[in-house]
Chain A
Amino acid sequence: MKKEISRRDFVKASGALIVCFSTASLVEPLAMAQGPFDTHPSHVDPEKLDSWLAVASDGTVTAYTGKCDFGQGIYTVQTQLVAEELCVSISKVKLIQCDTSVTPDQGTTSGSQSTPTNFNTRNLAQAAATAREALVGMAAQRLGVSADQLTIENGVVSAKDGRHVSYGGLIGGKHFDIAVSSTAKRRSTSEWKVLGKPVPSLDRVALMSGTFEFVHNVQVLGMVHGRVVRPPEIGATVGNVDEKSVQHVPGLIKVVVRNNFIGVVAEKQWQAAQAAKDLKVTWQPRLGLPAQKDFYDYLRKQPSRDLMLVNSKDVDNKLKSASRVLKATYLHPYQAHGSIGSSCAVADVQADHATVWSATQSVYPTQHGVSALTALPLDSVRVIFVRGAGCYGLNAADTVSYDAALLSQAVRRPVRVQLTRQDEFLSENYGSACVVEQQAALDASGTIDAWDCETWTASFGGRPGYDQPGNVITGMLAGFDPETINPRTAVEPTGELRNGNNAVPSYVVGCVNGKCGGAGSIRSERVLTHAVKSPFFTGPLRSPLRLQNTFAHECFMDEISAYARADPVAYRLQHLRETRIIDVVKAAAKTANWDARPSPKPGTARTGTVTGRGIACVAYEGDNGYAALVAEVEVGQASGRVQASRFVVAHDCGPISNPEGLRNQIEGGVLQGMSRALGEEITWDDRKVTSIDWQSYNTLPLGIQVPIIESVLIDRPEAKATGAGETAITLVAAAIGNAIFDATGARLREVPFTPDRVKATLSSRG
């Protein structure tokens, strides 16, 4: 069945926005959030309770969220949240995710911000608590008893004498017409019946049975197929497009050229693929690329936009007078999001309105982008989230949504576009390449006296946000400028500590303006960052810069503790002050049965397979979750192959909403981190990117020897809820690098730890 978008069925009983699932058109509860297209923006005013919740007369609750699920489990856990606050069972709650006509604008689902945003005392959680209090108030009036004499069970409010009334009976189908109350009391963690429980993911049956609707499966009446023709080199411009070269392709509808954007539209996907392959385009090349082998040096020499994050101003003196100064430089490559499914979107752009089905993390910003690209007024563009393959950040979901909109506008028909694997690898927004230079001053006792860190990160484009569609390839090709780096020297830090990228190591006091927000004890501190213009698009990739910086900090800490002949766990604890990071370090070490002694392991052979253990820890973004990871590895010294045998993760994200989902995120994060640490790297020649498929870009397949992963979950019911999807992955490269050092005495300072690189490092051991 196809979606009939012109005849959208919905019920607006007494005006309350209650989405119903029509039988006439194919509408999937999970994937297809339908609502009235003419919904006025006031419906999605986040101040109003009705923007977040509606109760139908049968007592079912429809909740609207601006945070969507790509497989990280936020659909299930937000459903739990609403059920918990309203005291109904999960099956009574329908969650509608990210649709610019229906759900409040919650920006982008990213940066481990969904849980902090919706699970504390604002937004969805607060709306649900407001609704519960309002319903109890109505019941009190109806039953003539005071609210504190009432109990709620599964949407039925009862008085002590047994009289009761259901939510449906109280409000069914009507507006609440009240504001979200900032004083409505959230249910305390000790009362939780639905949250905090290991609820299996609600989409699992549909997924396993192949019936789940991904954006890739969306079909709209009259839909045709598009493909794009990307420049082989980023920055190349169109010279000539020979439309005759594809005249022979049956079903071809149009070759679309707009500035440097080129695409083809055909009746069938295979025809579009043929046309895209056969279309002759002459591209004007650009200047070429900096050589990959010298790229990190190149980065350090470019003009940059600088930021001083902390500066105690005594670091140079300390370095001069120290009894010993240690230095090391860490390198991290560009890496791809590499979603398993290349990105896809469907757009229907008509003369006066547009609808886009998109797997974007940012429906509202995408609405703005599509409006800019199509020159349609903002409020006549609707963007509906439909899940794609796991994205792990800004994959090509945004750019392909633009592709679909441009092609649909050109042919005035709904167009589905899926990128090829090569299209996506060639010009997605990679995770940034980084250089981190570290210096530490040690006092005579071997304690760290000063920490000095300087980073260079490659950056170009990024999330389009509300006003920069040029930040992804399609926007730029269509003529919009990407965000560029305006060089600027650093000024002294002001305000308070900003450690969202974990550029400031956990071991320093992190003082800005006399207020110290760091997790550590080292008082002499300086962290200077340089953003440098990247030759490739970059954008957030799971744990953006947090991972790169933490790799450098946690390996350097390990190097220092080895120099000081100290146990890496004890040495970390000696320099940490914040309880929550201390607790995860202790918990991981305890569960891993940590072998307390300095690294490297004494008496290991220089040949054959050797084993070692390493640790790393992080206060994610400074205060958005805490984790420590112990890695145990085997290193084949002849082959250079690294095999992780066991990981132990201790994890603290405040009150745990769903331990089952949390474990799934931790396990996936650890293994994805391992794949990135051991093999993943974007490569290029003098003109173009050469890692363009799964043969030229390494990823660990399913058939690997899967290490044991043990997760220790530290529940903190009294704390604020934090993110959890990016914490564990942040630590993997560092923990593995430290374990390799422990096993072999060789220090890997460049990711990925490929067999060749491991062998080269082993052979340079003294």
Chain B
Amino acid sequence: MAAISLKVNGHAHTVDVDPETPLLYVLSDDLQLRGPKFGCGLAQCGACTVIIRGQAVRSCVMPVSAVKQQEVMTLEGLGTPEKPHAIQEAFIDEGAAQCGFCLSGVILTAKALLDENPKASDEQIREALSNVLCRCFTHTRMMRAIKRYQRSRA
């Protein structure tokens, strides 16, 4: 065990955990965040996605000790129910969910891509989402929501 300091969604935290603990477990068990979720623990689905330095990162395979001083943002750090972020707004408007368990992967991966490349082509969007899974297959609405967000920023 070791004391590890983290900055998550703008708040500083210190947790006492095994440094090898995946970031996801710290976020959900110790910090009680609900956005990132354990889907596979194998970096294969995206449910645990967070944003670190602008990149979509799979927190299920990242040891918490590797985060260091980098700020972590989770789905709930993006916006709030009262004031959702524009991409969350687009997903709300399109009704782009069924169970919603996959949303951290879908929304944060798309956001990271479009922040870096606002003009990403459909092909590039698909490429970025090529290992993000939604088992409810809400694909049509999710793609519409992503495009809506992209247009809203143009």
Residues of chain A at the chain B interface (Cβ within 8 Å)? 1, 70-73, 200-201, 203-214, 216-217, 219, 225, 250, 268-271, 338-342, 344, 387-390, 392, 418, 420-421, 660, 664-665, 667-672, 674-675, 693-695, 699-706, 709
Q: Flag if B135 contacts A208 (CB, 8 Å).
A: no
**B interface size (C-beta, 8 A):** 64
Q: Flag if B143 contacts A706 (CB, 8 Å).
A: yes
Most buried by A among B81, B128, B142: B81
Q: Flag if A668 contacts B42 (CB, 8 Å).
A: no
B51 to chain A, nearest CB (A): 12
Partner of A390 from B32, B99, B128, B132 at Cβ < 8 Å: B99
Give 7 A-B contacts (CB < 8 Å), ordered by A residue. A225-B29, A338-B135, A340-B45, A340-B47, A389-B99, A421-B39, A699-B133
**B131 close to chain A: CB less than 8 A:** yes
**B72 close to chain A: CB less than 8 A:** no
Q: Flag if A671 contacts B38 (CB, 8 Å).
A: no
Q: Flag if A694 contacts B42 (CB, 8 Å).
A: yes
Q: Flag if A268 contacts B21 (CB, 8 Å).
A: yes
Partner of A702 from B33, B35, B42, B132 at Cβ < 8 Å: B132
Partner of B32 from A219, A339, A704 at Cβ < 8 Å: A219
> Complex Cα distance A187/B79, Å?
40
- Residues on the A chain within 8 Å of B132, using CB: 701-703
> Complex Cα distance A1/B32, Å?
8
Partner of A672 from B22, B45, B104, B137 at Cβ < 8 Å: B137
- Residues on the A chain within 8 Å of B130, using CB: 701-703
- Residues on the B chain within 8 Å of A672, using CB: 135-137
**B40 close to chain A: CB less than 8 A:** yes
A615 to chain B, nearest CB (A): 21
> Complex Cα distance A211/B106, Å?
16
A660 to chain B, nearest CB (A): 6
- Tell me the interface secondary structure of chain B in the complex: loop
> Complex Cα distance A23/B130, Å?
42
> Complex Cα distance A700/B87, Å?
23
A707 to chain B, nearest CB (A): 9
> Complex Cα distance A203/B96, Å?
11
Knowing A216-B38, A693-B44, A694-B45 touch, does A71 contact B18 (C-beta < 8 A)?
no
> Complex Cα distance A71/B17, Å?
34
Knowing A342-B38, A693-B42 touch, does A209 contact B101 (C-beta < 8 A)?
no
Q: Which of B86-118 contact A (CB under 8 A)?
A: 88, 91-92, 95, 97-104, 106-107
Q: Flag if B98 contacts A71 (CB, 8 Å).
A: yes
Q: Flag if A209 contacts B98 (CB, 8 Å).
A: no
Residues of chain B at the chain A interface (Cβ within 8 Å)? 1, 17-18, 20-22, 25, 28-29, 32-42, 44-45, 47, 74-76, 78-81, 84, 88, 91-92, 95, 97-104, 106-107, 125-143
Q: Flag if B98 contacts A664 (CB, 8 Å).
A: yes
- Residues on the B chain within 8 Å of A695, using CB: 44
Q: Flag if A70 contacts B140 (CB, 8 Å).
A: no
Q: Flag if B40 contacts A693 (CB, 8 Å).
A: yes
- Residues on the B chain within 8 Å of A669, using CB: 137
- Residues on the A chain within 8 Å of B35, using CB: 210
Q: Flag if A210 contacts B140 (CB, 8 Å).
A: no
Q: Flag if A270 contacts B84 (CB, 8 Å).
A: no
- Residues on the B chain within 8 Å of A200, using CB: 92, 95
Partner of B80 from A209, A674, A694 at Cβ < 8 Å: A209
Q: Flag if B141 contacts A667 (CB, 8 Å).
A: yes
Q: Flag if A667 contacts B92 (CB, 8 Å).
A: no
> Complex Cα distance A225/B21, Å?
14
Q: Flag if A209 contacts B129 (CB, 8 Å).
A: no
Nearest chain-B residue to A28 (Cβ)?
A: B34
- Residues on the B chain within 8 Å of A670, using CB: 137
> Complex Cα distance A669/B75, Å?
26
> Complex Cα distance A600/B131, Å?
35
Most buried by B among A208, A668, A701: A208
> Complex Cα distance A228/B6, Å?
30
Partner of A660 from B21, B41, B95, B133 at Cβ < 8 Å: B95
